Amino acid sequence: MNQPSTDRDGLAAEVPPGSTLVISGEEIDRALDRMAREIAMDLAGALPLAIAIMNGGLVFAGQLLTRLAFPLHCDYIHVRRYGRLTHGGELEWIAGPHVDVRGRTVLLLDDILDEGRTLAVVKEALLARGAGTVRIAAFARKDRGEPPAIEADYVGVSVPNRFVFGFGMDVDGAWRNLPAVYALPEETR
């Protein structure tokens, strides 16, 4: 049986048994507001191209972009490493970008910076396609105890070195829609 949890509006949601709340909805809102201020200070006036990495970056991008009060263009790419796994596999490039990135300031949006391999490959691919500069905004950065392959320019929250889900991150394709972040029990890793 799934464990009930409460989101920021007091609505009950079911999460996998033994899961623990890691980042509340209120903490997410504060982190997004802070990130939006930091990004605006750096990129307002540059007409950046914001590129969300699907599917994980969808929720994060949707909520962050509405906080950016300056003109920008939007696109997406679809890459994946995890699939049905709880640890990364080989990178599969599925789609995008759909616009020319040559000479552009690109703001790459992703749900989590874990090992950093996906973001490193995507950044290099965008630079190889002629992007002028690529900045990375990751909603969460996992505290792994060792540095990732690449760092993000903007980070919303830190999460423990556990399998986390919610706010764009999934468990076997589900739970991306949760308005908070949870961690699976240690033994499920």
Hey, which residues are catalytic here? 114
**Pairing label, strands 133-142, 154-159:** parallel
Nearest 5°: phi and psi at 166? 105, 160
Closest CA to 68 of 137, 159, 131, 141: 137
Closest CA to 159 of 138, 179, 143: 143
The CA distance from 98 to 52, in Å, is 12
